[in-house]
Amino acid sequence: MVTVQVSQKGQIVIPAKIRKELNIKPKTRLEIYKEGDRIIGYPIPDDPIDACFGAIRLDKSATEVIKEIREEEKTQEKRKTRKFL
What stretches of 1-85 show up as alpha helix (H) in DSSP?
16-21, 48-52, 62-84
Read off the pLDDT of residues 11-61 as tens digits, 9 standing for 90 and up: 999 999 999 998 899 999 999 999 999 999 988 877 767 666 666 666 778
Q: Residue 76: its pLDDT value, please?
A: 86
Q: What is the largest CA-CA distance in the chain?
A: 65
The domain locations on the chain are 54-84
